[in-house]
Amino acid sequence: MTEARETSSTGPFGKNGAGTALPHDRPVKEEPLKEVLRRLVDDGRAYADAEINRQKIRAAFIGSGLRTVVILGAVALILLFGTLVTLMIGLVFALAPYLTPLGATFAVSITALLIVAILLYAAKQRLRRLFPDKDRP
């Protein structure tokens, strides 16, 4: 009768009645603290390396975009300066024979100013792509 009580109290399948031991019934494989800390430090280093590489790529992308903006702006400023010089020289020449060189001076100046406007517009568009406005849809 003693055997019947043991079987009935624990069931036909053992302690938990399911035929398999629960995870808390199994022996836990203990890992030394030193090994756990070493793994933690290695994972931390790997994460830091990945984050550094990500930031380098991001900086290179922004740097190349800003370089293009600076180049376009510099060319626009050079053309603007050249236009002002051309306008001044053209005005000097225009005063000598009275109007014919002035027409040529205005044609060159207006053409250069149109190019400046196009370059500045292109620089503005590049800046908008690099730094999108969060308020715009």
User: What residues does each domain of the chain span?
Assistant: 31-130
Contact 76, 114 (CB under 8 A): no
Among residues of the chain, what percentage have pLDDT more than 90? 13
Whole-model pTM: value is 0.38
Write the pLDDT tens digit of every residue in 72-93: 999 999 998 888 888 778 766 7
Residues in contact with 116: Cβ distance below 8 Å, sequence separation at least 6, in sequence order: 76, 79, 80, 83
Q: What is the pLDDT of residue 87?
A: 76
How large is the angle between the packed helices 100-130 and 33-95, nearest 10 degrees?
Answer: 170
Q: What is the pLDDT of residue 27?
A: 61
